[in-house]
Amino acid sequence: MSKVLVSDPIDQAGIDILSQVATVDVKTGLKPAELKEIIGEYDALMIRSGTRVTQEIIEAGTQLKIIGRAGVGVDNVDVPTATRRGIVVVNSPEGNTIAAAEHALAMMLALSRHIPDANASVKRGAWDRNSFIGAEVYKKTLGIVGLGKIGSHVAAVAKAMGMKLLAYDPFISNERAEQIGCQLVEMDLLFQQADYITLHIPKTPETTHLINAVTLAKMKPTARIINCARGGIIEETALAAAVKAGKIAGAALDVFESEPLGESDLRSLGKEIILTPHLGASTTEAQVNVAIDVAEQIRDVLLGLPARSAVNIPGLGPDVLEELKPYMQLAETLGNLVGQLAGGRVELLNVRLQGELATNKSQPLVVASLKGLLYQALRERVNYVNASIEAKERGIRVIETRDASARDYAGSLHLEATGSLGTHSVTGALLGDKEIHLTDVDGFPINVPPSKYMLFTLHRDMPGIIGKLGSLLGSFNVNIASMQVGRKIVRGDAVMALSIDDPLPDGILAEITKVPGIRDAFTVTL
Ligand SMILES: NC(=O)C1=CN([C@@H]2O[C@H](COP(=O)(O)OP(=O)(O)OC[C@H]3O[C@@H](n4cnc5c(N)ncnc54)[C@H](O)[C@@H]3O)[C@@H](O)[C@H]2O)C=CC1
Ligand SMILES: O=C(O)C(=O)COP(=O)(O)O
């Protein structure tokens, strides 16, 4: 019989499901060394945010087949190491959405009415009605950073309370934001105008310390900020200093850079700050939901069945995958590329499967294109299982067409995306069955393999332009690995695709578009 270790508190409903197929040991509060010592005995590990599943732990887990996170965030799991070792990582993307959203809303109201401190003062025996004059949220502006599952529910409730809603989410379409009743704005404007700011984004390299002394300085002195997403998105020392100096009116935090929270300036602040010990998902309902959701997936994987919310493996049959693998990679690369060219906030994706790809078996390529398209927004959390649902939730319309007539290649894939930078298209094919080639960008024929850092220009085909661009890049110490021009007619419009060795330095795109003849320039990281 399989063995499952549950190393954080999980609802009994989950334990009951696991017990149908495995021996279950519940051992919470283990130190890393203790976990490392015993993990080798187990086929599955079930956790919440309390257990750090590091590379060391995963490598010691020689029998591990699956790690189940009974919640959303998998930032405490070394997913790349698990993937390399063939261990499935699953989570419960929706089980605690309502609990986390309600906690953020509770924090907003508690901050506005000083409920924790007023309660403590009555319990101390006082009857002080003057120290706790509050503020109403009605007709105030709520700025939501991250309009995903939790952010959207916060929006719906806040709207019903009469709040005006602003949102910042570079990966959500205007159409989707409007449906939720939010106005999408840039982050600076949100910070300047909001009376309350609530964060609902994942912790990624881009969002770490997204809120720092500079962003806090943009807030109104009467504004308050709430973080029920992840510790480390707000720089805690900068926040404590801003609250202490009265630069902002207050903050409510459920999550911290290091948990449990140790010595911290945050603890010494008064009623303007509320701290809770990572309670966002701690409702009876959410704990039952996530425990069942994840335990069912662990049970299924131990029985050799696929998992429905795997964050690191495709939920497709191995035979289909093997055949389509190189094309899946092509579709992901093209999706990632066209998403960046279209500016991220994509509303419409046209997928055209051409030549031998125009068969019904190629449906996974549409999913792979969406996975690529959403990669910039969701990173490793988007997978073949959730890409279509995530796209739908973001209001991305997908139109799929099949054209069996082969063009220059036996099979090719054409993607056209409409986003905040307009409509852009890319086509790609495989060379020698394996090597990915871009064969067309915005209707201009090219033939280049994609590379990690790329620069595209739209320019007039005229003498001297390539030299000028080369010298400009040289003056910024940018090394060109390869370059190709695609044009439809001589001396008409043309596209240049350059592979470069490093990311483009800040400010250079603006310089490039100043070169006479160059109309536009885009850079992408693949
Ligand atoms: N305090 C707690 O106990 C809980 C915390 N969480 C945390 O809440 C957060 C949100 O969860 P969900 O709404 O389920 O995730 P989600 O994936 O549905 O939504 C996240 C949104 O953030 C957006 N986003 C990504 N990068 C961004 C950036 N740089 N700037 C602005 N927006 C960006 C994405 O486009 C997406 O719409 C996660 O960090 C999760 O770990 C979730 C449950 C409980
Ligand atoms: O689901 C999440 O991302 C959470 O942050 C909840 O964490 P928890 O399961 O309560 O330790």
Q: Write out pLDDT tens, residues 203-228.
A: 988 899 999 999 999 999 999 999 99
pLDDT of residue 440: 94
The DSSP 8-state label assigned to residue 31 in this structure reads: -
Q: Whole-prediction pTM value?
A: 0.75
**Lookup result for tokens 């401190």:** 117
pLDDT of residue 319: 59
| CA 2 to ligand 1 centroid distance, Å | 34
| CA 122 to ligand 1 centroid distance, Å | 36
- Is there a single domain that holds both residue 18 and residue 44? yes
Q: Report the alpha-carbon distance of residue 70 to residue 64 in Å, rounded.
A: 17
Per-residue pLDDT tens digits for 379-413: 877 777 568 778 888 899 999 999 988 767 888 99
pLDDT of residue 206: 87
Instruction: Tokens for 326, please give them.
Output: 């190189």
Tell me which residues are annotated as active site: 230, 259, 278
pLDDT of 322 > 90? The answer is no
| CA 478 to ligand 1 centroid distance, Å | 35
pLDDT of 441 > 70? The answer is yes
Nearest protein Cα to ligand 2, atom 10 = 281
Nearest ligand for residue 150 CA = 1
pLDDT of residue 316: 53
Ligand 2 atom at shortest distance from the alpha carbon of 73: 3
Q: pLDDT grade, residue 315 (50/70/90)? A: very low
- Is there a single domain that holds both residue 117 and residue 258? yes
Percent of the chain with pLDDT over 70: 97
- Is there a single domain that holds both residue 62 and residue 112? no
Ligand 2 atom at shortest distance from the alpha carbon of 230: 5
- Is there a single domain that holds both residue 143 and residue 259? yes
Q: Report the alpha-carbon distance of residue 114 to residue 103 in Å, rounded.
A: 15
Last residue within a domain, chosen from 450, 485, 505: 450
Least confident range of 34-38, 219-223, 282-286, 320-324: 320-324
Q: pLDDT grade, residue 321 (50/70/90)? A: low
Indicate the top mutation candidate among 47, 49, 72, 76 to test ligand 1's pocket, ranked by most ligand atoms within 8 A of CB.
Answer: 72
pLDDT of 190 > 70? The answer is yes
Q: Report the alpha-carbon distance of residue 430 to residue 336 in Å, rounded.
A: 17
Q: What is the average pLDDT value for the chain, to the nearest integer? A: 92
Q: Which residues line ligand 1 (CB under 6 A)?
A: 71-73, 96-97, 100, 145-151, 168-172, 200-203, 206-207, 228-230, 254-255, 278, 280-281, 377
More confident residue, 205 or 98: 98
- Is there a single domain that holds both residue 151 and residue 224? yes
Q: Which domain, by its residues, includes 332?
A: 316-450
Least confident range of 33-37, 198-202, 308-312, 339-343: 308-312
| Among candidate residues 49, 54, 55, 66, the one with its CA nearest the CA of residue 8 | 49
Q: Flag whether 120 is in a domain.
A: yes
Characterize 368-399 residue by residue with b for buried, 16 or more Cβ atoms within 10 angstroms of its Cβ, and e for exposed.
bbbbbbbbbbbeebbbbbbbbebbeebbbebe
Last residue within a domain, chosen from 450, 466, 491: 450
Average pLDDT of 463-481?
90
Q: Which residues line ligand 2 (CB under 6 A)?
A: 48-50, 70-73, 96, 278, 280-282
Ligand 2 atom at shortest distance from the alpha carbon of 278: 10
Number of domains in the chain: 4
Characterize 173-196 residue by residue with b for buried, 16 or more Cβ atoms within 10 angstroms of its Cβ, and e for exposed.
beebbeebbbebbebeebbebbbb
Percent of the chain with pLDDT over 90: 73
More confident residue, 420 or 193: 193
Last residue within a domain, chosen from 433, 450, 467: 450
Per-residue pLDDT tens digits for 512-522: 999 999 999 99
Report phi then psi at 411, rounded to 5. -140, 140
CATH of the domain at 497: 3.30.70.260
Nearest ligand for residue 72 CA = 2
- Is there a single domain that holds both residue 329 and residue 424? yes
- Is there a single domain that holds both residue 234 and residue 360? no
Per-residue pLDDT tens digits for 259-311: 999 999 999 999 999 999 999 999 999 999 999 999 999 999 898 777 888 88
Least confident range of 128-142, 173-187, 358-372, 427-441: 358-372
Ligand 2 atom at shortest distance from the alpha carbon of 92: 1
pLDDT of residue 311: 85
| CA 479 to ligand 1 centroid distance, Å | 36
Indicate the top mutation candidate among 150, 154, 211, 375 to test ligand 1's pocket, ranked by most ligand atoms within 8 A of CB.
Answer: 150
SS (H, E, C) 94-162: CCCHHHHHHHHHHHHHHHHHCHHHHHHHHHCCCCCCCCCCCCCCCCCEEEEECCCHHHHHHHHHHHHCC
- Is there a single domain that holds both residue 249 and residue 102? yes
Per-residue pLDDT tens digits for 474-502: 999 999 998 899 988 888 899 999 999 98
- Is there a single domain that holds both residue 123 and residue 211? yes
| CA 230 to ligand 1 centroid distance, Å | 8
| CA 449 to ligand 1 centroid distance, Å | 34
Q: Flag whether 280 is in a domain.
A: no
3 state DSSP class of 169: coil
364 Cβ partners below 8 Å, 6+ apart? 314, 316, 320, 321, 324, 328, 384
- Is there a single domain that holds both residue 8 and residue 149? no
pLDDT of residue 323: 74
CATH of the domain at 10: 3.40.50.720
Least confident range of 75-84, 127-136, 270-279: 75-84
**Lookup result for tokens 């770490």:** 208
Nearest ligand for residue 227 CA = 1
pLDDT of residue 205: 84
Average pLDDT of 468-472?
91
- Is there a single domain that holds both residue 341 and residue 438? yes
pLDDT of 459 > 80? The answer is yes
- Is there a single domain that holds both residue 76 and residue 169? no
pLDDT of residue 212: 98
